[in-house]
Structure 1
Amino acid sequence: MTPRSRRPVRQRKPRGRSLVGQRYDVVVGAVAHGGHCVARVPVDPSLVEEAGHGRHETRVVFVRHALPGERVTVEITEGTEGDRFWRGDAVAVLEPSPDRVTAPCPFAGPGLCGGCDFQHVALPAQRRLKADVVREQLRRLAGLDVDVEVEAVPGDDEGLRWRTRQRYVSLPGGARGMRKHHSHEVIEVDECLLEAPTGPVTAVHDVQFDVADGGFWQVHPGAATALVDAVLEALAPQPGESALDLYAGVGLFSRFLRDAVGPDARVVAVEGHAGAVRLARRNVPGVVTSAGDVGDVLRTQYDEPFDLVVLDPPRAGAKRAVVEQVVDRRPRAVAYVACDPAALARDVAIFAEHGYRLTGLRAFDLFPMTHHVECVARLEPGHA
């Protein structure tokens, strides 16, 4: 489990007059990757022509705090006349969805804390929305039509109290705050309802893992166990098989692969963070560990065949160079742990170029109330 990096706030160059604050009544379309839904608003054709984009009568708006099928008033929060798309918040709900609920947190909503995307959505519907996103990314980027069900994971309280590591912004006078969506602006909060009453759960199936303070470990209490079980189910490791654990973190998957294939089998763990590698050597004695960029390591080391591979890359995905190094080892099965469905779909498409097909997929709701979803995909060679 390699450390996940936070995406920086992107600033787009203004292209014409700002439309921030403009309001439109719209019917909301499908959910999109990123915690928003898609809507279209009418645009003055003369303004579009002046901006150099030709005549288009509508413009796409990515709307937060809405649900598919709702009629809402959207207020533009990012966008100028010349942009290809705008962003906005649903500031009034004119015709609500049956899946809409009152957000449990008073700091969730337009113009408030940006940490939660779906507090206004009933929990079962949140999971359906996430499944729709995974399905759409695989269809659009990998050309696959896949049934997806997002599974609940034990350890939260109806979608709340699961974040075992929480960060606040310190404010003057001892107060604390959270940042707004796509902004460095901070609003003061009493508490975050996602924050768990205890710290990280670093034991999995009665095995305790050493994790550095501030080092990466899944924040949902049930996440690590759910992912280990899904990876072992996907790979079905047999005694004597060799295994390669890439982006291995502190050795979570390596530990259980070693137990499954036996002490005499070869298990290799590769991780880019030197501190995590030191902990992996402590957590999984007997496993061969290597510190360095995964792509660089695979270009020069461990070039023998491996029966099994675990891929648990950061949000950007494994990408072509690593995928091609993996298929060069000719594994009989690959378990790909993905925190971003778009990156997963792009890498699945690269695997397909080399004869590896998606033969299984499980998705887990490890981040309730947000748009994030974790997937475990199985890839095998020679399947049509």
Structure 2
Amino acid sequence: MNWQGETFELTVDRPGHGGVCVGRRDGRVVFVRDALPGERLVVRVTEDKGKSFCHAQIEEIVDAAAGRIEVACRAHAAGVGCCDASHMTGATARGIKATVLTELLQRVGDGIEWAGEIESLAAEPVPAAVETGWRGRMRLGVDPQGRPGMHARGGAVVPTLDCAAAADGLLADLPEAEAGSELVVVLDDAGDRHVVELAAVSQRRGGKRARAQQHRASAAKARRESVLAGSGVATWRVGDRTWSLPATGFWQSHRNAAASYSTVVGELLAASGVGRAAVGWDLFGGGGPLAGAMRDSTDEVHVVESDPRAVDAGGAAFADDAGVRFHLGRVDRAIAGLPSPDVVVLDPPRAGAGAAVVEAVSAAQPRAVVHVGCDQATFARDLADFGRRGYRPTVIRGFDAFPMTHHFEAIALLAR
């Protein structure tokens, strides 16, 4: 059975992971982007490989859901993949994200029960329907004419910079750049904007999958960087500490995220019942923005990070604190040489911590673990791995760290 190109009416009944909603027709699952649960739609199938599911796009909205609004991001309306949840109110989006996390914890997390809410990271309550201007850093493509822009879902660069998520001034008056290069644009905590060009990745022949693999492999290598605006060194602050990082180095996209997560980690460690800890591990720790919160209740914090730029910035930020020590290397290898921890904090990338790291952390038998996850499927998988090794979540909190998108963050406190 293949419905490629077919148009039909469909009611979507629930949200799915990855920013889609799910409907059924003749026993097959239909994934629809830009839909809301309960809507009746006319859809056209855009991808069907003859399996038990297919993908479709909206041709007409017959009955709209109550949470639907006019698309708040004009860049997304022009075809960019940036703000894929800007067609719904913030409250609706947070409700959908809570449903997604609940279902993933049940299905992927081996039956973990959760019925919480997704919390906003806005500094103050947001009176508008959606939170805009939250993003302080973006990575842009450059089209064949040298114009910067964001990527459409198919990968092409759309030369529009009218993104509602961008902080005021972030994308104003950007310079043209080499075709095929990328621009990293950062508005730091000192109010300075930095624009850094990453040299173009050579294009190779091959199918779509081969080209994607080649692009990922090239992107993982060091690329020539050219500073087009600002100093190229961004200033970030959490509490009383300041980090100076290359603008191309990692920092949270939401301008309130780093400080908020630091506060939450401190609160969860205080609620863990461990009390004053002798040793803590901060894994995938970057420059150590969470280490400061750990230090409030831990005598000695060991930060493990694979990016030497982050380690250098962290060492400078904690130069006055001998209780925070940085270790450069892969987490699964570096932790073998660390002293046994009382508490562990993990903040892995989207791929998650992985079974090897979870096993090593569990074998060290910390009394409490705080796990931070920016991808809910791998977050749930990691929690399931911890569960099989004797650790269960006592607190799970979700955060709307990427408003107007389907992405969000979750943080769990686990105990033996």
Q: TM-score range by the shorter chain?
A: 0.7 to 0.9
Q: Report the Cα offset of residue 78 of structure 1.
A: 2.0
Q: Which residue of 2 aligns with 1:50?
A: none
Give the TM-score of the pair, scaled to structure 2: 0.78
Q: Considering only aligned residues, what root-mean-square deviation do their CA atoms show, in Å?
A: 2.0
State whether residues 234 and 378 of structure 1, in contact with CA within 8 Å, keep that contact through their aligned partners in structure 2. yes
**Partner Cα distance (1:131, 1:207) in 2:** 33
1:305-384 matches, within 5 Å, as 305-381=340-416
Displacement of 1:174 in angstroms is 5.5
Judge which range, 199-208 or 235-244, deviates more: 235-244
**Cα deviation 1:94-139 (Å, max 9, x = unaligned):** 0010111111223334x81111221111110100000111111001
In 2, Cα distance between equivalents of 1:76 and 1:135? 28
C-alpha contact (below 8 Å) 1:200/1:219 kept by paired residues = no
Counterpart residue identity of residue 70, structure 2? T
1:26 paired to 2:60: no
Which protein has greater RCO, CA pairs closer than 8 Å, 6+ apart? 1
The answer to whether structure 1 residue 98 and structure 2 residue 66 are counterparts is yes
Map residues 142-181 of structure 1 onto 2, 5 A cutoff: 142=109, 143-155=111-123, 158-171=130-143, 175-181=147-153
Runs (4+) off by over 3 Å? 155-158, 171-176, 237-240
Percent identity between matched residues is 36
Among 306, 320, 325, which residue is 1:288 paired with? 325
Q: Is the CA contact 2:266–2:296 (under 8 Å) kept in the aligned structure 1?
A: no
Rounded Cα–Cα distance in structure 1 between residues aligned with 2:34 and 2:166:
21
C-alpha deviation, 1:281, in angstroms: 1.3
Query: Which of 159, 163, 166 pairs up with 1:195?
Result: 166
Q: Is the Cα contact below 8 Å between 1:250 and 1:276 reproduced in 2?
A: yes
1:210 corresponding residue in structure 2: 244
Q: Equivalent residue of 1:177, what SS?
A: strand
**Are the counterparts in 1 of residues 135 and 166 from structure 2 also a CA contact under 8 Å?**
yes
* Structure 1 partner of 2:291: 254
The equivalences for 1:47-196 within 5 A come to 57-80=26-49, 82-109=50-77, 112-142=79-109, 143-155=111-123, 158-171=130-143, 175-181=147-153, 183-196=154-167
Q: Measure, in 2, the Cα distance between the counterparts of 1:134 and 1:243.
A: 28
Secondary structure of the 2:114 match is coil
Which structure has the highest strand share of the two?
2
Q: Is the 8 A contact 1:36 1:117 kept in 2?
A: no
Give yes or no for contact 2:265–2:294 (8 Å, CA) kept in 1: no
Distance 1:188 1:29, change over 3 A: same
Q: CA deviation at 1:305?
A: 2.4
For residue 242 of structure 1, what is the amino acid of its counterpart? V
1:58 deviation in Å? 3.0
Q: Helix, strand or coil for the counterpart of 2:139?
A: coil
Inter-partner Cα distance in structure 1 for 2:413 and 2:161: 42
Would you say the 8 A contact 2:20–2:31 is kept in 1?
yes
TM-score of the two chains, using structure 1 as the length reference? 0.84
CA distance in 2 between counterparts of 1:22 and 1:186 reads 28
Q: Which runs of 5+ in 1 are unaligned?
A: 1-15, 42-56
Kindly indicate whether residue 197 of structure 2 is the aligned counterpart of residue 226 of structure 1: no
1 CA distance for matches of 2:12 and 2:350? Answer: 28
